[in-house]
Amino acid sequence: MTYAADSVDTLPRMPSWATSARAETPEDAAFLSGAALSHLHLVSNRPEVPQCLLRERLALRAAEACTAFRGRPERAAELRDAIAFLQPGDSPGPTGETYVAWRRAVKQPASIKALHRALPRVEAEQIADWMDGCDPRAAGRGAPVTRVAMVIETVLTEAPRQEVTALILADAALAQALGWDYVVPLLATDLKRADLRRRDDALRLACHRAVTTSAIEALRLAVDLVRRTAHLKAVAPKLRAKRAEEAVDMFLSRDAVAPSALPLPDRAARRLCDRLVDLGAIRELTGRDTFRLYGV
């Protein structure tokens, strides 16, 4: 397959007033969050945006934020390690489980069944009950961010320590309200732990502000990934290894890939990764000499 080099210049730009304005009132906050979400919806549906990879990177950021909520020191590098080299039967540990939950949440189209796979310790019926109050088909449920706040408040009132569950279901509610097929992690990265204890108007205001900031950050990430994946697609025809095309597809859809996960013999996989690094198409993410991970 010959890949065309997509240009980042094809993506519509976020208006400067939306990125520089400050939400001084609840009305301002609602207006800005709506503008940011509308633009994210427009950009993320463009064919040049690697949507699976974008969701995986946002899932990593969300897991990192949730880990910080719990006062743990693990960051992106440790979270990647927690699941990249797991053997069958191994436990990823508490922080690894958080990352697994977010990755599962963004992998399949959002549904109660998919959310239960992401949150196996929560009964599917309980997830359905918590989500029912934000169903956009039901009359009088309010605007998307209002439904997000309702889910957070409902979950944390009934289960005060389940912040990860509340935030995954809040992002699922947002996706549902906006007609998105997949969960796009936005809330966790810009809500503070204190915000999760707010209620009513104060919680809605915090959610509006968080959505605005995180949507703008997601747009910047999308632009960066379009540029990086375009370069990877451009250099792919230079690769001679058998099944290199499948390997490239893995890099285009996954946050981090170990050579052992590629569909090539071990030595060939490592050579392919080194070649792609030399071509500037992927990066080595760990800084180690062994147990390396690579990503766009």
Residues 6 or more apart whose Cβ sits within 8 Å of residue 108: 114, 117, 182
For residue 295, give the H/E element and its range. Answer: strand 294-295
| pLDDT given for residue 133 in this prediction | 61
| pLDDT given for residue 7 in this prediction | 56
More confident: 19 or 102? 102
**Whole-prediction pTM value?**
0.93
Mind listing the pLDDT tens digit for each residue in 245-278? 999 999 999 999 999 999 999 999 999 999 999 9
> Nearest-5° angle of CA 263, CA 265, CA 269?
70
What is the pLDDT confidence band of residue 24, given thresholds at 50, 70 and 90? confident
Report yes or no: 124 and 112 within 8 Å, Cβ to Cβ: yes
Beta bridge partners of 294: 257, 284
Coil vs helix vs strand at 195: helix
135 pLDDT above the threshold of 80: no
| pLDDT given for residue 137 in this prediction | 47
Question: Which CATH number is 25-226 given?
Answer: 1.10.3290
Q: Domain 239-295 falls in which CATH fold? A: Arc Repressor Mutant, subunit A (1.10.10)
Beta bridge partners of 284: 294
Residues 6 or more apart whose Cβ sits within 8 Å of residue 260: 266, 269
| pLDDT given for residue 132 in this prediction | 84
> Please, is 207 exposed, middle or buried when counting C-beta atoms within 10 Å of its C-beta (0-12, 13-18, 19+)?
buried
Instruction: Measure the CA–CA gap between 171 and 184, rounded to whole angstroms.
Output: 6
Highest average pLDDT, of 7-16, 62-71, 116-125, comes from 116-125
293 pLDDT above the threshold of 60: yes
2 pLDDT above the threshold of 50: no
Amino acid (one-letter) located at 21: A
4 pLDDT above the threshold of 70: no
Task: Return the closest-CA partner of residue 58 out of 105, 21, 17, 19.
Answer: 105
Report yes or no: 185 and 107 within 8 Å, Cβ to Cβ: no
Mind listing the pLDDT tens digit for each residue in 144-193? 999 999 999 999 999 999 999 999 999 999 999 999 999 999 999 999 99
What one-character DSSP code corresponds to residue 283?
A: E
Structure tokens at 109: 């189209």
* Average pLDDT score over residue span 16-36: 90
Q: Where are the domains of the chain?
A: 25-226, 239-295
What is the pLDDT confidence band of residue 139, given thresholds at 50, 70 and 90? very low
134 pLDDT above the threshold of 80: no
